[in-house]
Amino acid sequence: MTISEPLYRRIQNDLSRKIADGALQEGEALPSEDALCTLYGVSRITIRKALDGLRAEQMIASRKGSGSFVTRPPRVFHGSLVDVISGAWDERRFISESVASPPEVIRKQLQLDDDETAKIWEIVLVDRGHPLVHTRYYLRKAAAALVTRKDIERTRSITRAIEETFDTRVARAVQNIEPCKVPAAIGRHLSIPKGSPVLKIVRTYFDREGTPLHAAIVHAHPERYRYTIELRAQDTLS
């Protein structure tokens, strides 16, 4: 905080810290605008600007006639591709494990023959008690014989388990993102109705030689899942 900060920003930052520290809990109602005006000794206009800033940061949500309530502060992760993907949730729930013919999009991504099957792990990731994403991971059947569920649970990441098992490193991942209507079975796992709009993500992981290691089809909860990509200009040589 600096003296040059606008007053509304100082109030916004103070409330934000209280939410992050747990002094204001998720689902708890904020004091009324009148009460906040008295607490901070400022005008209603200043309080409303502070609350607008908190809403923009997804720290609070307002309900008409009921006031403003604390929501889940957005998580921010930094690190390698594997670190971010393996750390963005609290709990992993295994739904099923099978060997079957994969969808055509996965067959192409993993460069499988027409009659080749894949090992499939169906998993739901849960964040703060709520389902966040439903994922089906696909791995070549022969390779999957060496990667177990215990390996995935131990490393908190199928990608990390594959790296350790085959002594390799994921060099890059390619993903396609598109909207779709959630199928009934997946909707039940995400606690949303069949046909709800969701983000569908098809992601494939490659090693340094460009060999596909595994792929995944992800359906993300329409309200709880947020995905931010930072694009940077590539340095050019003079």
Q: Give 155-164 pLDDT, tens digit per residue.
A: 778 888 888 8
Higher pLDDT: 149 or 40? It is 40
The rounded mean pLDDT for the chain is 85
Which residue range(s) make up the domain with 206? 81-220
Residues 113 and 145 in one domain: yes
Number of compact structural domains in the chain: 2
pLDDT at 100 over 70: yes
pLDDT of residue 187: 95
**Residue 73 banded pLDDT, cuts 50, 70, 90:** low
pLDDT of residue 33: 93
Higher pLDDT: 46 or 154? It is 46
Residues 121 and 208 in one domain: yes
Residue 2 lies in a domain: no
The 10s digit of each residue's pLDDT in 195-225 is 999 999 999 999 989 999 999 999 999 877 7
Measure CA of the first residue to CA of the last residue in the chain; give whole Å. Answer: 41
Which of residues 38, 70, 102 is at a domain's end?
70
Chain-centroid distance of CA 36 in Å reads 33
Mind giving me the DSSP string for 6-25?
-HHHHHHHHHHHHHHHTSS-
Look up the pTM and report it. Answer: 0.68
User: Could you tell me whether strands 197-206 and 212-220 are parallel, antiparallel, or unpaired per DSSP bridges?
Assistant: antiparallel
CA distance linking residue 51 with residue 53, whole number of Å: 5
pLDDT at 149 over 60: yes
Number of other residues whose CB lies within 10 A of the CB of residue 106? 22
Higher pLDDT: 127 or 94? It is 94
pLDDT of residue 87: 53
pLDDT of residue 200: 95
Higher pLDDT: 126 or 230? It is 126
179 and 198 in contact (C-beta within 8 Å)?
yes
Residue 76 lies in a domain: no
CA distance linking residue 19 with residue 29, whole number of Å: 11
pLDDT of residue 1: 43
Residue 143 lies in a domain: yes
pLDDT at 154 over 90: no
What share of the chain has pLDDT > 70, as a percent?
87
Contacts of 148 (CB under 8 A, 6+ apart): none
pLDDT at 109 over 80: yes
Give the CATH number for residue 29: 1.10.10.10
176 and 198 in contact (C-beta within 8 Å)?
no
Residues 120 and 96 in one domain: yes
- Taken in order 189, 190, 192, 198, is the CA torsion positive or negative? negative
Higher pLDDT: 20 or 8? It is 8
To 5 degrees, how large is the angle CA 109–CA 110–CA 112? Answer: 115
Residues 98 and 54 in one domain: no
Residue 75 lies in a domain: no
Residues 126 and 104 in one domain: yes
